[in-house]
Chain A
Amino acid sequence: MSFRTWYESQKQTRKFHPGWIVMAVSGVLVVAGIITIPATLVAETAPPPAAAAPPAGTSDHGKVPGTDMPKVIEQTPDPARLRNAKTIQVDFSPPPDETMPTGEFGQAVRLGKAIFTDTQTYARQYVDNKLNCVNCHLGAGRKADSAPLWAAYGMFPAYRDKNKHVNTYEERLAGCFRFSMNGKAPAPDSKEMVALVSYSYWLAKGAPLGVELKGRGYPQLPKPQQKPDAARGKQVFEANCALCHGADGQGTEMSGRTVFPPLWGKNSFNGGAGMSKVKNAAAFVHANMPLGKGNSLSEQEAWDVAQYLDSKPRPPDPRKGKSF
């Protein structure tokens, strides 16, 4: 029996007209369209990933979007919510390393990662202590709550109280070299700076611009119940930190390379570094230390150990010339 004869015979039954199937299917499609089309329009209002021009000035942005796009879990907030960007937190995951682009831009991204994880080798001339960027920005700048690069990138340019003017992202990185690395900043057009900005940009690929991403910076702790105390902090340090950082806080080196970073003294960050503020150190320690056991110290212990670190000598803030 051919389809046509079946169709004609069914038409005659009065119980079932095959045209009903066509009607039902088209009805479903119309309803689905009403739901999905506006949703697509909303999704299109998200800033396209190429909205920020790459500082390296290259056209090679890697693979086709969609194949390796990082995941923004929450939809980009609507413009009304964006006005309160400070308080909005959007989930974001940076793209996996396997999707790093090729070509000139890819090389810049790779060099950026190399500088970031082994600053002592790849940006030697700009560093005057024994730290590497990755010591404070764990997971090669990826780890949430450890000042990840992908969350910082989209928040600049911004006004900073620290130097009372609007800072570009490059200037923000320059601050890291001057204070945290106790060195001098690479010029904005140097290959090191271009590489670091490229790496940051690539990690932030697909993240909304100018929006506070979840995991940015170090999660600030509420004020402690007791005033932070260096003597209590010393005990916390000896019980939990000295294992890797040494009782003298000077870290551990293996064949000339820093495995565990020095926390004070001439080989550590200087008095102008963000980490030299007790509240930042407490926040970092609480979220990330001991390595792999973040959030295991109590908040009070984190404040106390940060106070202990603050009681130790370090290179002076270059803006003040505080004595060592």
Chain B
Amino acid sequence: MPLSFIVAWIPGSRIRVLPRLARPPARITSLLAGVASITWVVTGASLAHADGLAGATLAQKGNGGTPACMTCHGAQGEGQAAAGFPRLAGQSQAYLLKQLQAFAGGERKNPVMAPIARSLSAAQMRDAADYYAGLPGWKQAGAPHTPSAQYAQGLKIATEGDWTKEMPACFACHGIAGEGVPPHFPALAGQPMAYTQTQLNAWRAAQRTNDPLGLMQAVAEKMSDAEIAAVSRYLENPSRPGKEK
């Protein structure tokens, strides 16, 4: 089977990817296999990686069968708030790469991203991750947040957590202003509310399980719906700690 052959040759591919992709050939799998083989032959992984523009090309034009990343993630990787597509710009390379691998491997279940990630070679994943890691991260745009009880609750969860139920603050691991702590803890500041909310729900429901040591699941399972909504609202446009009265 061509796919398993290719996967085995992808540099740095994980062993557990192999059995999953090599499962009995659904029509989609063989189609993907075809796309992947063609892509592999046409671009050539090492060549693409050597070219610094490869990531930008993927982001802006896609790779033939795969749509351009920017279609959903925005021209500057800023995401799409209304649709809940996450910001990628400024996220760490290691984190982005890990997510692409998780989409392909199924630890992160997402019907849109799974086929896209599976159509990418290991080198293309690295290129895309490199590209978005190199774009500027979120900066407070100056537009102040709308003060509300929900925002205040979100601020408290993000900066202090709630230790009466063993729930640490988001910023205890994700950086003092939610800017992320590479390689394991992604930036949270500036993510669309709908995205953060979906992810926290997915952690809580064990539909997303690619966190190191199960750390994120352990936090999410202690959160109520209201707390998830509040902290997601806050993280969309977090005020700087210390400036909030």
Contact = CB atoms under 8 A, between A and B. Distances in A.
A103 to B, nearest CB: 15
Given A139-B163, A292-B168, A257 B176 contact: yes
Contact of A254 (B166, B168, B176, B218): B176
A142 interface: yes
A144 B168 CA distance: 13
24 contacts: A97-B160, A139-B160, A140-B160, A142-B163, A143-B163, A144-B163, A146-B163, A240-B213, A254-B176, A254-B181, A259-B173, A259-B176, A260-B173, A260-B181, A290-B213, A290-B215, A291-B168, A291-B215, A292-B166, A292-B168, A293-B214, A293-B218, A294-B166, A296-B218
A166 to B, nearest CB: 31
Given A254-B175, A292-B219, A293-B214, 11 more contacts: A93-B164, A139-B163, A142-B163, A240-B213, A259-B173, A259-B175, A291-B215, A292-B215, A293-B215, A294-B166, A296-B218
A138 interface: yes
Most central of B167, B168, B184 by chain A CB within 10 Å = B168
Interface string A290-317: 1111101000000000000000000000
Nearest to A243: B212
Interface in B145-161: 156, 160-161
B213 A243 contact: yes
Contacts of A244: 173, 184
A243 B219 CA distance: 17
Interface in A80-133: 93, 97
Contacts of B213: 240, 243, 290, 293
A143 B166 CA distance: 8
B10 interface: no
Most central of A138, A257, A292 by chain B CB within 10 Å = A292
Nearest to B164: A93
A252 B175 CA distance: 10
A292 B167 contact: yes
Contacts of A293: 213-215, 218
Contact of A139 (B161, B173, B214): B161
B38 interface: no
B164 A291 contact: no
B181 A252 contact: yes
A291 B172 contact: yes
B179 interface: yes
Interface of B: 156, 160-161, 163-164, 166-168, 172-173, 175-176, 179, 181, 184, 212-215, 218-219
Contacts of A257: 176
A257 B172 CA distance: 12
Contacts of B163: 138-139, 142-144, 146
Interface string A261-305: 000000000000000000000000000001111101000000000
B106 to A, nearest CB: 23
A292 B218 contact: yes
Interface string A238-250: 0010011000000
Nearest to B160: A140
Closest CB pairs A-B (n = 10): A139-B163, A143-B163, A292-B168, A293-B218, A292-B218, A291-B168, A292-B219, A254-B175, A243-B212, A259-B181
A39 B172 CA distance: 44
Contacts of A139: 160-161, 163
Contacts of A254: 175-176, 179, 181
A291 to B, nearest CB: 5
Interface string A24-37: 00000000000000
A244 B185 CA distance: 9
Most central of B167, B179, B184, B218 by chain A CB within 10 Å = B218
A239 to B, nearest CB: 8
Contacts of B179: 254
Contacts of B173: 244, 259-260, 291
